[in-house]
C-alpha cells in the first residue's frame, strides 16, 4: 500500500474519527493501512452533506464512489489518496464490494431531511453503515467473516451508531434532520417537528431515553455475541466500550438541544485503553 496514501488516510481518521483511529492502532502494524483506508472512506462519505449545496450533488458524489469500486469512475481514481488506498485494501483483503454499495445507498438518507420512519429503519441504517464497517474491519483483521462475529458486529454497529446520533442530536436538529424514529416519537405523543423544534419537553426527553435504551440493548447483545470469538477482532469492536459512558453522560444532560461537552481527548483514549483489557477478556 502506498505510504503516502496510508499517511493521508491515517491523518484523516486521526482528525475526524479519533475513536476508530485509536482502535486501529491496536491492530498489527501490517494491517493498519487497510483499516485507515476503510475508516477514511467512511469519513469521506459521512461528510458529503457538509460539502454539497443540494442533495442531488451529494448523490453524484456517492455514485462516484460506487463507480470507483467497480472501475467505472472517470479519470484516475487512484490519484485520490483515499480511493487509492481503499481499492488496494479491497483487493488485498478480498473485501465484498456489495457491502460498500449497500453502505453508500444507506448514506443517501443523510442528504435529505426526511425523518427516520421506524426503529426497524434506524437499525437497518445503522447495520448498513456502522455495522458494515465493523464487519469489513473484521475481515481485514482475521481474513474471514463467521456468523457469530457478524452477529456481534450487527449489534455493536447499532449500539455505536445510535449513540453517535444521540451525541449529534443538537446538530441534526438545528439543520432539520430527524434520526429519532417516528414510532418512538409517536409513542410519546410527538412528531418530527417536535424533534427539531429546539424546545426541550418531558415527552422529548422520554423519547430520547427510549433511544438510549435501544443503544444499550444492542451493546449488551454485542458483548454476549462476542464471547468465544477471535481475539484478533479487538480493534474492530474496541470503540464499542465507549457506549455506556457516553449514554450516561447524555442521560444527565438537562437540555437535549445543547451539546454535551466533549470528553477530554486523553480521557477518551484512556477509556479505550482500559476497555481493551475488558474486551480481551470478553472475547
pLDDT at 39: 98
Count each helix (H run) and each strand (E run) in the chain, helices first. 17, 0
Q: What percent of the chain has pLDDT over 90?
A: 88
Predicted pLDDT at 254:
87
- What does the pLDDT read at residue 283? 80
Cα torsion for 174, 177, 183, 189, to the nearest 10°?
A: 30
Give the model's pLDDT for residue 112: 96
Four-point Cα dihedral 147, 31, 101, 166, nearest 10: 80
pLDDT for 174 = 96
Cell of 169: 442530536
The pLDDT tens digits of the residues spanning 36-65 come to 999 999 999 999 999 998 999 999 999 999
C-alpha dihedral over 215, 25, 102, 75, to 10 degrees? 150
pLDDT, one tens digit per residue, over 190-204 is 999 999 999 999 999
pTM of the model: 0.95
Q: DSSP secondary-structure letter at 128?
A: I
How many Cα atoms occupy the beta-carbon half-sphere of 10 within 13 Å? 15
Contact partners, residue 204, CB within 8 Å, separation at least 6: 188, 190, 194, 195, 256
Report the distance separating Cα 149 and Cα 157, nearest Å. Answer: 12
Q: Which domains does the chain have, with CATH numbers?
A: 1-95 (1.10.600.10), 113-283 (1.10.600.10)
- 218-252 pLDDT, tens per residue? 999 999 999 989 999 999 999 999 999 999 999 99
Predicted local distance difference test score (pLDDT) of residue 129: 98
Average pLDDT over residues 83-91: 96
280 in Cβ contact with 234 (< 8 Å): yes
Looking at the chain, the whole-number percentage of residues with pLDDT higher than 70 is 98
Q: Is residue 282 very low, low, confident or very high in pLDDT (cuts 50, 70, 90)?
A: confident
Query: What's the whole-number mean pLDDT along residues 21-30?
Result: 97
Query: For residue 222, what are the contacts with CB-CB under 8 A and spacing of at least 6?
Result: 152, 153, 155, 156, 159, 237, 240
Q: Is 8 helix (H, G, I), strand (E, B) or coil?
A: helix
pLDDT at position 73: 65
Q: At what angle do helices 202-226 and 147-167 cross, to 10 degrees?
A: 160
Cβ atoms of 23 and 239 within 8 Å: the answer is: yes
- Residue 202 has a pLDDT of 97
Average pLDDT of the chain to the nearest whole number: 95
- Asked whether residue 1 carries a pLDDT value surpassing 90, the answer given is no
Which stretches of 104-247 are assigned E, i.e. beta strand? Answer: none
Question: How high is the pLDDT of residue 257?
Answer: 97
Q: Is the confidence at residue 75, as pLDDT, over 80?
A: no
Write out pLDDT tens, residues 93-148.
999 999 999 999 999 999 999 999 999 999 999 999 999 999 999 999 999 888 88
Amino acid at each position: 500500500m502506498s505510504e503516502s496514501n496510508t499517511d493521508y488516510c491515517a491523518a484523516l481518521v486521526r482528525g475526524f474519527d479519533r475513536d476508530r483511529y485509536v482502535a486501529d492502532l491496536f491492530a498489527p502494524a501490517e494491517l493498519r493501512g487497510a483499516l485507515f483506508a476503510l475508516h477514511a472512506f467512511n469519513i469521506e462519505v459521512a461528510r458529503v452533506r457538509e460539502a454539497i449545496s443540494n442533495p442531488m450533488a451529494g448523490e453524484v458524489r456517492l455514485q462516484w464512489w460506487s463507480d470507483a469500486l467497480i472501475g467505472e469512475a472517470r479519470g484516475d481514481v487512484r490519484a485520490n489518496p483515499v480511493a487509492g488506498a481503499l481499492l488496494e485494501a479491497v483487493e488485498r483483503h478480498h473485501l465484498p464490494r456489495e457491502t460498500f454499495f449497500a453502505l453508500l445507498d444507506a448514506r443517501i438518507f443523510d442528504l435529505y431531511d426526511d425523518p427516520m420512519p421506524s426503529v426497524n429503519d434506524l437499525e437497518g441504517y445503522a447495520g448498513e453503515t456502522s455495522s458494515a464497517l465493523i464487519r469489513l474491519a473484521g475481515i481485514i483483521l482475521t481474513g474471514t467473516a463467521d456468523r457469530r462475529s457478524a452477529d456481534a458486529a450487527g449489534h455493536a454497529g447499532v449500539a455505536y451508531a445510535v449513540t453517535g446520533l444521540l451525541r449529534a442530536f443538537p446538530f441534526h436538529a438545528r439543520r432539520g434532520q430527524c434520526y429519532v424514529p417516528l414510532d418512538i416519537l409517536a409513542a410519546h405523543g410527538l412528531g418530527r417537528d417536535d424533534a427539531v423544534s429546539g424546545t426541550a419537553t418531558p415527552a422529548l426527553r422520554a423519547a430520547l431515553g427510549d433511544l438510549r435504551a435501544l443503544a444499550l440493548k444492542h451493546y449488551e447483545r454485542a458483548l454476549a455475541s462476542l464471547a468465544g470469538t477471535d481475539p484478533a477482532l479487538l480493534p474492530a469492536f474496541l470503540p464499542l466500550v465507549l457506549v455506556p459512558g457516553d449514554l450516561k453522560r447524555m442521560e444527565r444532560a438537562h437540555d437535549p438541544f445543547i451539546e454535551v461537552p466533549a470528553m477530554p481527548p486523553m480521557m477518551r483514549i484512556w477509556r479505550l485503553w482500559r476497555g481493551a483489557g475488558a474486551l480481551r477478556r470478553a472475547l
